[in-house]
Chain A
Amino acid sequence: MGAFSYFPQTGEDIRVMLERIGVGSMDDLYADVPADFIYKGEYDLPSAMSEQQVRDFFESLAAKNTRLKVFVGQGAYDHYVPSVIPYITSRSEFLTAYTPYQCEISQGTLRYIFEWQSMICRLTGLDCANASMYDGPTAAAEAVRMCVASAKRRNSVLVSARLLPNVIDTIKTYAKYAGINVVVSDQIFEDVAEGVLDLAGVIVPSINRFGVIENHLGLADLVHQMGALLVEYCDPSALAVVKTPAEWGADIAVGDGQSLGIPLCFGGPYVGFMACRTALMRKLPGRIVGQTTDASGKRCYVLTLQAREQHIRREKATSNICSNESLMALWCTVYLSLMGPEGMRRLNALCYEGAHYLHDALLATGKFQRVFDADFLKEFVLKPLCPVEKLQKALLKAGYFAALQTEEGYVTFCVTEKHPREELDCIVEIVKSVK
């Protein structure tokens, strides 16, 4: 077998190393492995490819996917990715670093995480944020665990049925094994007021899976009266214009940072965020970066409050999370830096006008009915009066991914700033043609 570009050892190098170790062959280094566990067969893998062959292979796979104009959200939003972001995030100093345990040579990573935490606090209005979670749904599941951990001897959580299905399912999974009682409810206010036994927390969407901007006025007081915590699940991009978790009186905010400049990428990697009030700071899962000074008084950043974490606290840690989604937090941080307050407002205005234009035009075709009389931002549902499958097929044929059906039979649409009026008009024309 010939040399391989990722292995720098020459035959002579290997000989020198074996000699220093005092063994005759590399196989001797496995003498402590029972002989029948040494795999002697041929690995059932393709033969090694050249780099060009690998590229051709993946290009052919990529070509088997259909690139569509995306008009569906449901937790993954097709916003424009400014060109600066991939240039910054592909810098090898960021990309190929490990977790910033050696802070003296990791100030780059630590600094952007500190900026990310600061920006998440500003979007949510809450006091502190962690360095990231895997994605929105897992952040929600961890928030539920946090509610139960904070509330002594209370073990139930109320979960809004209007959260995205994958958020509810992930919460249920985590809760099931942790022995937490999950009550999924479509009437949160009433169920909190009536009193769920041993209520530890309530989780509601800031904008629900039907796209409706929910009104949570009075909810936090009600939840707090019951001795429980309120968690808001948010689209961070929308938080630039809709009421913040802090304004609703929530204790914890979670969500997925994907809408802040991360490509769709078939569902990941994305990044979960989590913010909370100061009182809950030490209950946060995962890494947290703090500011301090070095011996000479220079401002610097370190991983802090680590006694919460698995590498110190082991089974008593607030969570088992170790690796997070640091680089994706950098995507969002660079995105928010580029967008600024004005960019975030304009972005939401563009989504709003596009979504409302499409919404009204679709209704005008007579092929849909309104479902909710409530404000929405970029995502909405309609009740179809035409055959949904035909509609979806016609849209797909024209290169549009839209009108995804919910379990109630509604169809969802989502419009972002990426989609010019021609595309919206095109969708309307296709809808008109469906009989």
Chain B
Amino acid sequence: MSKIAEGLLYSESHEWVRVDGNVAIIGVSDFAQAEMGDITYVDMPDVDDEVAAGEDFGALESVKTSSELISPVSGRVVARNDELEDKPELINEDAYEAWIIKVEMSDKGELDRLMNAAAYANIAG
């Protein structure tokens, strides 16, 4: 049974969003990291890159699989978690602590399409 953090928004592709004003902090859920197994690399966009809701902005890699990271929102990348470059295992250790990118949202309305913790629990049970 994977952990689901309260107070976050979730996408069907298992990304979470923590909203901080106009900025969306994005990571992957505990369910996603458990499915991946030991994460060996996180492919992230650069700061100032544009991301679009529903499109991939990077990928998680493990030894035998890879999984695209799908952006839950559109906007401009304002920060990325460079610590993950050398320590991708931080996502395995605590998926909700290890954020991946921060996005300045161009359309906060896109958040409405995401799920709350309770709704997400139905698909990531």
A and B touch in the complex (CB under 8 A): yes
What residues of chain A lie closer than 8 Å to B49, measured between beta carbons? 152
Contact string against A for B residues 51-85, beta-carbon threshold 8 Å, 1 for contact and 0 otherwise: 00000000101111110100000000000000000
Tally the A-B contacts, defined by beta carbons under 8 Å: 22
With A152-B49, A307-B61: A312-B41 Cβ-Cβ less than 8 Å? no
- By secondary structure, the B interface counts as strand
B116 within 8 A of A: no
- Of A152, A282, A312, the contact of B65 (CB 8 Å cutoff): A312
A316 within 8 A of B: yes
- In the bound assembly, the distance between CA atoms of A316 and B63 in angstroms comes to 16
Interface residues of A in 298-341 (CB under 8 A from B): 305-307, 312-313, 316
Q: Are B68 and A282 in contact (CB under 8 A)?
A: no
- In the bound assembly, the distance between CA atoms of A282 and B65 in angstroms comes to 15
Please give me the residue from chain A that is nearest to B61 by CB atom: A307
Contact string against B for A residues 200-219, beta-carbon threshold 8 Å, 1 for contact and 0 otherwise: 00000000000000000000
Query: Which of under 10, 10 to 19, 20 to 34, or 35 or more describes the interface residues of B?
Result: 10 to 19
What residues of chain B lie closer than 8 Å to A305, measured between beta carbons? 41
- Of A152, A282, A312, the contact of B64 (CB 8 Å cutoff): A312
Q: Are B65 and A307 in contact (CB under 8 A)?
A: yes
B40 within 8 A of A: yes
With A152-B49, A282-B43: A306-B64 Cβ-Cβ less than 8 Å? yes
What residues of chain B lie closer than 8 Å to A313, measured between beta carbons? 66
- In the bound assembly, the distance between CA atoms of A152 and B48 in angstroms comes to 12
With A152-B49, A316-B68: A306-B43 Cβ-Cβ less than 8 Å? no
Q: Are A307 and B62 in contact (CB under 8 A)?
A: yes
Interface residues of A in 142-159 (CB under 8 A from B): 152
Q: Are B41 and A307 in contact (CB under 8 A)?
A: yes
Q: Are A307 and B68 in contact (CB under 8 A)?
A: no
- In the bound assembly, the distance between CA atoms of A306 and B41 in angstroms comes to 11
Contact string against A for B residues 83-124, beta-carbon threshold 8 Å, 1 for contact and 0 otherwise: 000000000000000000000000000000000000000000
Interface residues of A in 269-310 (CB under 8 A from B): 282, 305-307
CB distance from A306 to the nearest CB of B (A): 7
- In the bound assembly, the distance between CA atoms of A313 and B65 in angstroms comes to 8
Q: Are B41 and A282 in contact (CB under 8 A)?
A: yes
Q: Are A306 and B63 in contact (CB under 8 A)?
A: yes
CB distance from A347 to the nearest CB of B (A): 40
What residues of chain A lie closer than 8 Å to B41, measured between beta carbons? 282, 305, 307
Contact string against A for B residues 33-54, beta-carbon threshold 8 Å, 1 for contact and 0 otherwise: 0000000110100100100000
Q: Are B43 and A312 in contact (CB under 8 A)?
A: no
Interface residues of B in 22-36 (CB under 8 A from A): none
- In the bound assembly, the distance between CA atoms of A312 and B36 in angstroms comes to 13
Please give me the residue from chain A that is nearest to B62 by CB atom: A307
CB distance from A335 to the nearest CB of B (A): 33
Interface residues of A in 363-391 (CB under 8 A from B): none
What residues of chain B lie closer than 8 Å to A306, measured between beta carbons? 63-64
- In the bound assembly, the distance between CA atoms of A313 and B43 in angstroms comes to 13
- In the bound assembly, the distance between CA atoms of A282 and B60 in angstroms comes to 13
What residues of chain A lie closer than 8 Å to B63, measured between beta carbons? 306-307
Please give me the residue from chain B that is nearest to A152 by CB atom: B49
What residues of chain A lie closer than 8 Å to B40, measured between beta carbons? 307
What residues of chain A lie closer than 8 Å to B61, measured between beta carbons? 307
CB distance from B64 to the nearest CB of A (A): 7
CB distance from B78 to the nearest CB of A (A): 17
What residues of chain A lie closer than 8 Å to B59, measured between beta carbons? 307, 316
What residues of chain B lie closer than 8 Å to A307, measured between beta carbons? 40-41, 59, 61-63, 65-66
Please give me the residue from chain A that is nearest to B66 by CB atom: A307
CB distance from A408 to the nearest CB of B (A): 44
Binding site for B on A (CB under 8 A): 152, 282, 305-307, 312-313, 316
Can you report 13 residue pairs joining A to B where beta carbons are below 8 Å apart?
A: A152-B49, A282-B43, A306-B64, A307-B40, A307-B59, A307-B61, A307-B62, A307-B63, A307-B66, A312-B64, A312-B65, A316-B59, A316-B68
